[in-house]
Amino acid sequence: QVQLVESGGGLVQAGGSLRLSCAASGALKIDVMGWYRQALGKERELVALISRGGSTNYADSVKGRSTISGDNAKNTVYLQMNSLKPEDTAVYYCYLTQFGVRSWGQGTQVTVSS
């Protein structure tokens, strides 16, 4: 059973920074880890992904402001978000795939005040 534990969310002023972390336990061979987010009343959307080999993929809305990184030995992924905007306010969900199966974290709230 894969479990994902997220941390690092919170309240920040516009222009500020946050670092999200997600640690996976019970995972054997992670293919991709990353983050999605869901704002109130909107669909869940991709934020950033990183493959086991280090390839990254970012949503256009966060490109240039966010950096995803991973530690394969610790099965942990990080998302550094800078120059945060009120529209970044959402619940951020950690995500991973292994053997074609997706797993999700419980989510961590990020609120950016204007």
Give pLDDT, residue 1: 87
- Region 60-85: what's the mean pLDDT? 96
Lowest-confidence region among 40-44, 66-70, 99-103: 99-103
Supply the mean pLDDT for the chain.
Answer: 96
pLDDT tens digit sequence for 8-60: 999 999 999 999 999 999 878 899 999 999 999 999 999 999 999 999 999 99
Question: Percent of the chain, pLDDT > 90?
Answer: 94
**Which 3-state string (H, E, C) describes the chain?**
CCEEEEECCEEEECCCCEEEEEEEECCCCCCEEEEEEECCCCCCEEEEEEECCCCEEECCCCCCCEEEEEEHHHCEEEEEECCCCHHHCEEEEEEEEECCEEEECCCEEEEEEC
